[in-house]
């Protein structure tokens, strides 16, 4: 697990405890097919269509996390999340440009069931019932899955097709990796003083996200036509 910091913390413990699920989410057949160069373009397009819709919803979730940052925390904490939001703006432009290249009509896409389910879950997390520590843990986990998945497509020996490098580098870059690490630090700091009940909730949210991410990749490969 090269993307995980080695020191002991709640987040690293949870990754170890859910190792199988984490591997299923970050080494899915969709990702493996990018890495070994056997990916069918139709699957890639399916993923991109669905992910654009997801990202639009994700922007709202990230904004909700920003609002929950405690006012007495150092300014840098909010800045990390603000940086994430800023990156999402260029990400949306990137999606439009890529969609053009792949001849995808983003406004014609209907979100599939697993995508809708994930977006519904994001909405739950956006509410005031979800406290900051739980929300920031969720944020970290969502970004981690993409970072770890796409980083593996840049490893030595990977045969990622040239046309997919732009995608793979977006989430697999060292810069994105460092940002995910900052999120992990925010998450662990937020978890320092929470109740047992909140800790349990945060762990459950991590597991749920891993499951939803697996189903998200599934959409690209299971869908036909
Ligand atoms: C389903 C899913 N999970 C995580 C990400 C990565 N975050 C923002 O782009 C994403 N794009 N899509």
143 annotated among ligand-binding-site residues: yes
Give the tens place of pLDDT for each residue, 68-81: 999 999 999 999 99
213 classed as catalytic: yes
Given pLDDT bands bounded at 50, 70 and 90, which one contains residue 37?
very high
In a domain, 1, yes or no: no
In a domain, 130, yes or no: yes
Question: Of all atoms in ligand 1, which is nearest to the CA of residue 51?
Answer: 12
DSSP annotation of 109: P
- The CATH number for 106's domain is 1.20.910.10
Cβ neighbours, 10 Å, residue 100: 11
What residue ranges line ligand 1, CB within 6 angstroms? Answer: 51, 54-55, 58, 91, 142-143, 145-146, 213, 216
Give the tens place of pLDDT for each residue, 71-126: 999 999 999 999 999 999 999 999 999 999 999 999 999 999 999 999 999 999 99
Give the tens place of pLDDT for each residue, 148-191: 999 999 999 999 999 999 999 999 999 999 999 999 999 999 99
Q: Whose CA is nearest to atom 3 of ligand 1?
A: 142
pLDDT score recorded for residue 8: 85
In a domain, 196, yes or no: yes
- Considering its fold, how many domains does the chain have in total? 1
In a domain, 192, yes or no: yes
* pTM > 0.80: yes
- The single residue listed with the structure tokens 């069931």 is 113
ipTM score assigned to the predicted complex: 0.99
Mean pLDDT of 190-199: 96
In a domain, 5, yes or no: no
pLDDT score recorded for residue 3: 53
Rg (C-alpha) for the chain, rounded Å, is: 17
């Amino acid at each position: 697990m090269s993307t995980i910091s080695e020191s002991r913390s709640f987040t690293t413990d949870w990754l170890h405890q859910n190792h199988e699920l984490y591997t299923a989410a970050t080494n899915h057949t969709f990702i493996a097919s990018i890495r070994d160069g056997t990916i069918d373009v139709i699957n890639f397009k399916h993923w991109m269509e669905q992910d654009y819709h997801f990202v639009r919803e994700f922007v709202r979730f990230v904004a909700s996390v920003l609002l929950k940052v405690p006012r007495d925390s150092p300014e840098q904490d909010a800045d990390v999340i603000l940086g994430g939001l800023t990156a999402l703006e260029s990400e949306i432009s990137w999606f439009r440009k890529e969609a053009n290249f792949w001849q995808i009509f983003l406004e014609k896409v209907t979100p599939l069931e697993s995508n809708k389910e994930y977006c519904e879950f994001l909405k739950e997390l956006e509410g005031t019932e979800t406290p900051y520590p739980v929300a920031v843990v969720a944020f970290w986990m969502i970004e981690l899955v993409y970072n770890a998945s796409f980083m593996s497509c840049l490893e030595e020996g990977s045969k990622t097709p040239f046309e997919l490098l732009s995608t793979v580098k977006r989430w697999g870059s060292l810069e994105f990796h460092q940002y995910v690490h900052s999120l992990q630090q925010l998450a662990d700091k937020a978890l320092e003083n929470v109740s047992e009940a909140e800790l349990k909730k945060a762990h459950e949210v991590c597991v749920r996200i891993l499951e939803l991410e697996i189903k998200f990749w599934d959409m690209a490969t299971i869908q036909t036509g």
